[in-house]
Each structure stands twice: as structure tokens, then as C-alpha cells.
Chain A
Amino acid sequence: MSQTRERHKKNKDKTFFDYSMLFIVIFLLSFGLVMLYSVSSYGASLNFNDSAYYLKKQAQATVFGLILMVVVMFIDYHIWRKLAIPAYVVSVVMVLLVLTPLGYEVNGARRWLNFGISLQPAEIAKVGMIIFFAAYVCRMGKNIQTLGGVIRTVLMGVPISVLVLTVTENLSTAIIIFGIIAMMVFVATPNYKEYFVLGGALVGVAALFVYLVKKGVLTSELSYRFGRIEAWLNPEAYSGTTAFQTLQALYAIGSGEIFGKGLGQSMQKLGFVPEAQNDMVFSIICEELGLFGAFMVLLMFLLLIWRFLVVANNAVDMYGALLVVGVMAHISLQVILNVAVVTNTIPNTGITLPFISYGGSAVVFLLIEIGLVFSVSRAIKLKNAGE
């Protein structure tokens, strides 16, 4: 941080631009494309007779996303504050559109919209919620510090989360949206103890569920989610069914050793880890590049999150800072949950790894979020930064 500051002190008129963050993003995107090609080429050539099928689609989305990122970068982020309510409305409408004929299913889950190009409304909702809640928390002012304010804020997140959960049956996105709100509120409020109590309570409830599943009170017949908990507790027992993907991912991780089998040399990607290019891409990274490669990827994400911290702390106003906190919450939550799922640390739920997993909507909206962060960082006056 201090380096950057000193380097830019000479050109006081120039605005701050976070080259480190740009480098990290471009690195992650490029690395993501390389890994995506490695992981998906087998399945792509098998299913589409074109080993670069997924790579091409992802590259197109990435280029489109980069353009949008640059556009957003040069838009004053304060505009989004004015558009907070529309952002919320658009998010809700988009999710509801899934129920119309515009919505369609992939792999049995109705989560996509078809506007000529396919779109996942959950991704729009994540950006929408970051924009909305940054504005909302700012509007709350000091009220956010009261218990009522916190409850009101959290309640604002309930409708969209419930919609995402019920309409698209997408628990993971609901969790992430809720997590983003929680993190933003956490940062905006002075309390600590209450959050740890609340967090502890959540863990307790989760543990209770797990206990009940373990005792056979809650079974997969009641909800497939309980089935996933069963599989998580004892993956070997469900190796042919619910835990197949998880177990295959574990095999991939475990067989990678320290430096991996080498780029492109994964065996598990050859039809064993289902949909490896989506949620399970990290397991193949572990297999091909080993623990070392996995650590490097996590380190890059950590650096990115660190850059977010720096930008947020230096933002000219609270709204900009909260935008960045939202993005930071989003990306860190996805990385943590994704890696946790892949390592079977938590039960399986479909969460993709930012910048690396296959998914056009995800990468486009992630880059829009990065654009927002750049927009906030560009507003930082270097002299301010120097103070």
C-alpha cells in the first residue's frame, strides 16, 4: 500500500488506479481460461466434437465482461446509489422471469433466462443487492447502529433471498446474498459480540440439523438437502449416488500430491468428476497443479481481497467503501464456500469458483463488480491517499 502511495505521490494530479488489482484479475481470468480448457476439453470433444467448445464460450463472455468492466470503471459510482431501488426491483423481476417461458432448465435446474443470450438472474441479483444495500446502509445513517436498524436491513434482504430460494431453488445463491448483506452490516456497525453470538447460534442450528440427519430423524426422503448432508457425513456410503461427485473430487485432490500431475494431465477430468468445469474445477486444479498450485490460486484470491480492503479503506465516501465491501464479501464467500464444498468441508451445494469456473453470466457480472471497485478506486485522490 505504501509503495503505491509513494509511487503516485509524484503525479498528484493523476487519479489513483489499482494496477495490482488489474493484474490479479487478468491473471485469474487467464489462469481460469487455461484451466477451463484443460478441464473441459475432454467432455467438450466428447459431447460437441469440439474440445474448445467451453473455452470459446467462456472467452467470449470474458471479453464481453472486460468491456463492461471498463465501461463501469469510467462511470461515477454515485449513479448506482440513485439506482438502488431500480436495482432491487430489476433483481426481483429477473428472478421472477424464470417462471415465464423465458426461463429454461439446464441439468434439471430452472435457473436461466434466455434473451438470445443466456443469463443467470441469480448473478444479476448479487450485483443488484450489493448496489442496493450499499445505498441502503448509507441511508440508514446512524440508525444502522441500532438493533432495529440492523433487523430492518436484514429484513430487506429476506424477500430476494426467499425468491431465489423458492423460484430457482438455489440455496447457495440465497446464502451468498445473505452473507453479503451480513458482511456489509457487520462492517457498518460497531458491535462484535453480537455477531459472534449470532454466528455461534447459526453454527449451533446447523450442527443440530447435522445431528438429526446423523440420527436418521431427517432423511433424504424429506428433502434432497438432507440427503446431501448424509452424503457429506459419509461419502463412501453414497459413492455411487449423492456423494459421487464429491468423492471423485476428493480422489482428484488426494492424487495431486504437492506439485500435481502437471497441467492437462488430470485423469479425473476424463469423465469421472461430473461437470468438472463448473463447481469442481478446483479439484482438478489440485490434481494437475498439486497443493502448490492450489495454494497459489488461493493466494491470488487473498491478494485480490486484500486489494479490495485497501480500496475500501481509502474510498472517498462510505457508499463507495460499502460497494467494495459487498464485492469483497461476494468473492470471498464464493471462494471459501466453493473450496469448502470441493474438499467436502461442508455439504455439497452448487457454488462456482469466481473467474475460473465455467459460466458466462457469472464472469460478466463479476467483472462488472470489479468495474465498480475500479470506479471507487479511481475516485481516490492521491493526495487524500497520502494523508
Chain B
Amino acid sequence: MKLSKRKAKERPQKFTGRMQKKLAVLFLLILAAFIGLTVRLYAINRDNGEEYKKQVLSQQEYDSKVLPAKRGEIVDCNGTKVAVSQKVYNVVVDAKTLNGNEGKFLEPTLNALYDSDIEFTYTRDELKDYIRNNPTSQYRIIAKKQGYDAVSPLMDMLNNKAENPNLKGVWLENTYQRTYPYGSLACDLIGFVQGDNEGTYGLEEFYNDELIGTSGREFGYLNDDENLERTIKPADNGNTLVTSIDVNIQSIVEKHILAFNKEHENEFREGNGSKNTGVIIMNPNTGEIMAMASYPVYDLNNPRDITGLTINVDEAYTTQGVVDIDIAGDESVSANSVTAPAGSDEGEETSEEDSEETVTQEETKPQTYEEAYEAAKMEALNDLWKNFCITTTYEPGSTYKPFTMAAGLEEGILTGNESFNCNGVKEVGDHQIHCNNRLGHGVLTFSGALEQSCNVAFMDMGAKIGKTIFMKYNQLYNFGLKTNVDLTGEALTNSLVFDVNTMVPTDLAISSFGQGFNVTMIQMVSGFCSLINGGYYYQPHVVTRIINDEGATVRNIEPRVLKQTVSEETSAKMKELCTNVVALGTGRSARPAGYMIGGKTGTAEKYPRNKKNYVVSFMGFAPAEDPKLVIYTVIDEPNVPQQASARYATLLTRDILTEVLPYMHVFMTEELSEEEREELSAAALTFAESNNKSLSENGIVSENSVSGDETDKGRENLDSAVDSVITFEDEEEKEPERTFEVDPETGYYIEPGTGILLDPETGRPIDDSVSDLE
């Protein structure tokens, strides 16, 4: 090498003047380069300064990001949380970054992702394909709403970039997940959240604006000196709803509704123990709803779960294949014969008729079947989600009778001293309208008419009141109008009540005992509260207070009296009359051991009349003297051979009250019999409910009530009824006052005139096809 020359040249080399000169030249060249760059810098500012300044500002917008707000909670009257929002994380990928750098980040990043506990919506290969096929995509959510535990390892890796240099193009996004700690409890009342924080049904929808809060934003802005300030405008979390619902009462109610429906499941027809069962418990002195439940229920945490749901696809699609062939040409779904086995044969048939369209038809048919299935599924789900207690309308039946009575009393048309003679039928217009007991109730006192729920007596009352006043009160009780309860989905019934101008005597007659017009449960219970609380019609409501994220009260929702329906006196009288119904009449089986309650039963025949479908119900209040709650139980088509018995509703009410009244610290006022004591202690021990105790117990209950303190009037009624109490259980009616011919073969009574066979015990027709209005 040349370095070996070193020995030859020992004398120190000098940095010669010539070299110094060259170095100076080099320096000048460098200086020239610096000057050139300086000019270039200046030129950039001069030529493009304004443009680039704007560019810089306009880019800033892209850097702002949304900070999601936490949805407000829903709590019960004791502060128990029934709906909460939890922080969860979405995993987002940036395909552009992952494809960058010759795809070197892809594998390490995918390894990190798929080694974690995160549940991805894509498989690893699917995600890989997505990243390949969408190289410009910078935002794709690949895992939704993962809990902190699942994402925390990934979060740690992302926070430590130094150790994970190849983990790129992935980040976590905060969001909130709505959960319902009690699952299906009060599902119809609470509602759920779907999509982007959108409340659906119930409180979630009605109070969506209160709950939703305001999203925050992190953004940069320019201050007066045109300097960028980065600012975080924190999210305004949603407000919390404090409701009047009591989770414990709600649980008791739902437990018994479930027990009833389980007991009668598949009893007479395939399916639940009833088409629907609804119960509302309301505070008559405030209008606050303490419990509201219906059956069937669904899991709020998984509202789209269709297990156990019967989906009735339009028959046309299942039996005859495609009806609507013309919908061809849409995107086709291949190989759907599996989902539509019934239709596949038909496909060949139609193809013979119209060979040109063979292909389209075969592809279209399953498509339309699927559409039909989807439609049927949505229908079934909407049916499940809707709140029976406020959405479903029905004819109330005899539970309306107290309303008729109160109207007459209030107007002075009825005095309370009338007596009625029922021979089982009343002719109104051209119609023969039967009493529920075709044998007739005979002579009834005013109170007896309600106790025995005599249709003839109420038709008489209705006629006396007249349609104008009757309908005035109908509207005063808010029927045909919305109660404006703070829940989504209340039915509008204005077209389902009679118009006073077009009302004929028959309409008035059946209206007087609660048939012919439709109501909702919430209307009935709100109206009934006013009958027994002194006449004050409170607007029913669920939310009592709205508090903000810090716990400060935003709004108090005070009880709101909308109107006075009847006077104090009429109300007191109605309380007494309704107490007699439970003490002496059809409502006896509703009385929980140890308490005196008031109420009225109802057995309404549904339209069409000859189908023999009934809505049975009981409207009650407890305790009788000073009502702390009003309970309304409605069973729509109980799954039993003979639906027309209010017993199903009264017994369900009794079971609920037996647990709810002690929970509410209502003291027992009535003496307990031995059996009741045993029953209560057994119930207390096991807490297991058997809502079908032997009938004889109820007879004894009634006997016991005789020894209790009653008003003179009550005692009088009691004395006159005491026989029937012991002879017939519950709503089984009194001995017929009239004599009938007895069919020698069957032992049934024969109704004179029509020749219809009647059950001697109930007075009801044997033949189901005979129309029977109660």
C-alpha cells in the first residue's frame, strides 16, 4: 500500500499557501451554496408564503377528533343502577400505513393483534385481504367495543413504541358501551340503545336528549397572535335519570308474571302462558309509576336475540313459493334453497310456465323469501320490544264499571240507593245484550251491582246517565287522549273511543260496562287513581329527577295534577264500593292475606266476539283505607281452555301484593287465619310462589273479613251476600233468581226464548259460539 512510503518522508509536511488558497476557494464555494439556499428560503416565502400559510391552517381541521360523551345512567328510586355506560375500545387499522414501507409492518402488527384476547370482526386472512385490497383506507374498525382487559396488552404495546417499532397503523378509539345490569328487568320500560347512541323504546328513547350528552372535541385553533392553541373541549356527559321505579317491586312483579306464564305455557295452545301479561303499579298520590312490566320480556343487553321468538313468515312465502316474481333483477343470493325449502319445488313449477325467466326466478325467490323472513323477524322483534302497558289497546271490560258509576254519582244522576233487577238480558235497540250471568243476578243493590259486576245494572245506569254526560266523563277520565307518560310508544286512542254525535243506544249500553271502545293500560290506571285519591288526575310519570354528571339536580319532575275528575265525596264512595267488590264480590281472590284492598275485576271479550278470546284484568288499590298503590293487572288471552275468568288476574294480583305490601312497610290490618299464617310463613321461608292455592282458602278469607271492621253499609252488604260467599268461590255468581227449565240429559239450564244451554253454576252459555259480553 501507499502508506508504506511513510518511512521515506520523515519531515513534517506543511499545509502550503497554495492549499490555504484552495481551502479559501472551497470556503467561498460553501458560502455560495449557503447564499443560494438563503435565496431559495426567501423565494419560497415570497412566492408561496400566503398559499402555504392557508394550507397549514386548512390542514388543522383534520387533526381535530371527537371525544365521545358518556351516556347518562338510569337509576331506580333507591339509586340502584338499571342502565349504565362503560368505557370500551374500538380497534382501528390504517391500511395505508400497514402497506407502507414495503409491508414490513404488516406481519408483526398482525401478530401482535391476533395474539391478544381481542375479538375481531375479521379473521386474520380477511383482514390481510382487506389491507391489500384497500391500500388507501386509513380508518377501519376491526374490533368493536372491547373491554379494557382485552385491549390493555395492546394498549401497553402501543404506548411503548420503542420496544415495538414494527407495530404500526393500529390505534384504539374510546367509546362507551351501554349495559343493563339487570338484563331483562323492566325491559319494556327502559328500552335499549342501538347504532350510534340512539335510544330505542322506553326511557332510553323518550329521554334520549337528556341521556346522550354532548360529544367533546380536541382541536387546534388560532389565538389572536395567530398562534396555534391546542384545546380539548371535554365531552359533556349525559344526565342521569332518577326514576320512581323500585327494582325490588319490579322484580316481584316480573317474577309472578313469569310464574304465571310458565305455569300456563302450552296449556291450551302452543306458546306462552298468555299472549301478553301486563302489570302497572302506580302511586295514586303522585302519579309515579313504581313498577311496569309485561310479558314476554327480552334481554336489554342483547335485544336482537330471537331465540324463543316465533317468527311467522307470510304464508305465501312458505307454502306457495314466490308471489311477487317481478322483483327480479336485484342482486341475487346464491344457494338459498336451504333457507327456503318449501319454496324450491314451486320454483321449478314457475320455470315451466315461463322459461325465459327461469334463472332470475330461481335466484329471486329465496331472496324474496329472505326479505319476507326479515320482515317477519322485525315484526316479531318490534312486537317484543313494544311496551304492552302503553302501546297495546284493548277493550277494558268490567274494570271500566267504576268509571261509569263515578260519573253517575258525581252528576247526582245516581244516588247510591238505587236497586237493579237483572234477569240476565237487556234489550237495547234491536239487540239482546246479555249479562255475564245469563241466569240473571236478580235484585241487586247499588253496591251489589258493582260487586257482582252486573252488566244489566250498568246498562241501566248508562241509560240513565245518558250519552252526553257519559262521554263527557269518558273524556274527563282522559280516555281517547294520551296520558303523556314519559315513555316512548304510547298509543293514540282518539279514534278508538265513541263519538258522542254518532253514538247509538247500543254503544252506550256496552260502553257502560267497558266494551266497544279501546283503552291502554296506562290510561286505565291513571284514571282509576283519580277515582280513589280524591279525584285528582295526576299525569303518570316514571322519571322524578334528572341529575347531571356531577350529581347536581338539573330538573325535578314534581307530581302534576292535570285535572279534577270527580269530587272528594264521590272518590270516597268509590273507594268504599271497590272495597266491597274485594270484600264481598268478584274480587275476593285478589285480597292478600292480612290486608284489605279495593278493586274491580274485568273479563273483556275480544273482537271478533265468536273467537272466545278474552282480556282478563284486575284493577286494585291497597291498602283500602289509605291507598299507597294502585295495581292494574291485565292478562291478554290466558293460555287456558276457558279464558273468561278474572281469577287469573286476581290471583296474580294477590301474589304480587302479598310480597309488595310488606316490602312497602304497609301494616296488616286484617286477622290472619291459620292457613294464611302457614301459607305466609311458608312463603317467607321458601320465597317460592304458588299462585294457585286451593279455592277453599279463599272462601275462608272471605269469612274472616266479616269479622273485620267494616262500615255499616259494608256489613249490610256482607250479610246479604254471606251465603253466596260460602257457596260459591270468588266470582262464581249468585243463585239464579229465576227458574229455568233443566235439560234432562245434560243438567244444563235452558234459556227461555233462545233455547241456549247455560251452565247452572256460572250462567254462561255452554256453546262457545254464542256471543257473550261482560
Contacts and interface: CB of A to CB of B under 8 A. Distances in A.
Interface of A: 47-49, 84-85, 105-108, 135-136, 138-141, 143, 152, 183, 186-190, 192, 250-258, 261-262, 265-268, 270-272, 286, 291, 294-295, 298, 301-302, 305-306, 309, 312-313, 315-322, 325, 328-329, 332, 335-336, 339-340, 343, 345
Complex A-B, nearest 4 residue pairs according to Cβ-Cβ distance, in ascending order: A254-B52, A321-B15, A108-B101, A318-B13
A268 B220 CA distance: 12
A319 B13 contact: yes
A385 to B, nearest CB: 13
Given A251-B52, A302-B34, A318-B15, A152 B2 contact: yes
Given A138-B13, A265-B227, A294-B38, 17 more contacts: A49-B159, A108-B105, A140-B5, A187-B22, A250-B44, A251-B52, A254-B52, A267-B60, A312-B23, A313-B23, A317-B15, A321-B15, A336-B33, A343-B37, A343-B41, A343-B44, A345-B40
18 contacts: A48-B159, A108-B101, A135-B3, A188-B19, A250-B48, A250-B52, A253-B52, A254-B49, A255-B49, A255-B55, A258-B45, A265-B227, A294-B38, A295-B38, A309-B24, A312-B15, A332-B33, A335-B34
Interface string B1-15: 111011001001111
Contacts of B41: 253, 286, 291, 294-295, 339, 343
Nearest to B27: A309
Interface string B160-202: 1110011000000000000000000000000000000000000
B228 interface: yes
B224 interface: no
Interface of B: 1-3, 5-6, 9, 12-16, 18-20, 22-27, 30-31, 33-34, 36-38, 40-42, 44-45, 48-49, 51-53, 55-57, 59-60, 63, 101-102, 104-105, 159-162, 165-166, 220, 225-228, 230
B37 A298 contact: yes
Nearest to B104: A108
B227 A261 contact: yes
Given A48-B162, A139-B2, A255-B56, A187 B23 contact: yes
Given A251-B56, A267-B228, A47 B161 contact: yes
Contact of B53 (A255, A258, A270, A313): A255
A84 B3 contact: yes
A188 B26 CA distance: 11
Contact of A141 (B9, B25, B44): B9
Contact of B34 (A270, A309, A336): A336
B446 to A, nearest CB: 81
Nearest to B57: A267
Given A48-B162, A265-B228, A336-B33, A305 B51 contact: no
Nearest to A258: B45
A68 B13 CA distance: 28
A254 B37 contact: no
B47 to A, nearest CB: 8
Nearest to A107: B101
B31 A302 contact: yes
A101 B63 CA distance: 39
Given A47-B161, A343-B40, A139 B104 contact: no
- Of the candidates B53, B104, B160, the one having the most CB atoms from chain A within 10 angstroms of its own CB is B53
Contact of A271 (B13, B63, B101, B159): B63
Contacts of A322: 15
A380 to B, nearest CB: 11
Contacts of B101: 107-108
Contacts of B49: 254-255, 257
A187 B166 CA distance: 45
Given A254-B52, A255-B53, A318-B14, A183 B45 contact: no
A272 B48 CA distance: 18
B15 A48 contact: no
Contacts of B16: 318
A319 to B, nearest CB: 7
Nearest to B17: A313
A332 B159 contact: no
B13 A256 contact: no
Nearest to B47: A254
Contacts of B22: 186-190
Contacts of B14: 317-318
A140 B5 CA distance: 8
Nearest to B31: A302
A143 B16 CA distance: 15
B400 to A, nearest CB: 68
B15 A313 contact: yes
A185 to B, nearest CB: 10
Identify the interface centre among B6, B13, B63, B161: most chain A CB within 10 Å of its CB. Answer: B13
Given A108-B102, A139-B2, A270-B230, A253 B13 contact: no
Contacts of B37: 298, 336, 339-340, 343, 345
A138 B13 CA distance: 7
Contacts of B30: 302, 305, 332, 336
A186 B6 CA distance: 22
A302 B2 CA distance: 35
A291 to B, nearest CB: 6
A257 B226 CA distance: 12
B237 to A, nearest CB: 24
A84 to B, nearest CB: 7
Nearest to A153: B2
A85 B6 CA distance: 13
B5 A139 contact: yes
Contacts of B23: 187, 309, 312-313, 321, 325
A298 B38 contact: yes
A187 B38 contact: no
B227 A262 contact: yes
A339 to B, nearest CB: 5
Contacts of A301: 34
Nearest to A333: B30
A4 to B, nearest CB: 17
Contacts of A309: 23-24, 27
Contacts of A189: 22
Nearest to A343: B40
A268 B44 contact: no
B20 A298 contact: no
Contacts of A266: 228
A19 B5 CA distance: 37
Contacts of A343: 37, 40-41, 44
B227 A253 contact: no
A328 B30 CA distance: 10
Contacts of A188: 19, 22
A47 B227 CA distance: 24
Contacts of A183: 26
Contacts of A251: 52, 55-56, 59
A141 B5 contact: yes
Contacts of B228: 261, 265-267, 270
A243 B23 CA distance: 37
B510 to A, nearest CB: 74
B19 A318 contact: yes
A25 B267 CA distance: 96
Contact of A186 (B26, B52, B55): B26
B217 to A, nearest CB: 15
B436 to A, nearest CB: 77
A106 B230 CA distance: 30
Contacts of B18: 190
A258 B46 CA distance: 10
A270 B63 contact: yes
A141 B2 CA distance: 10
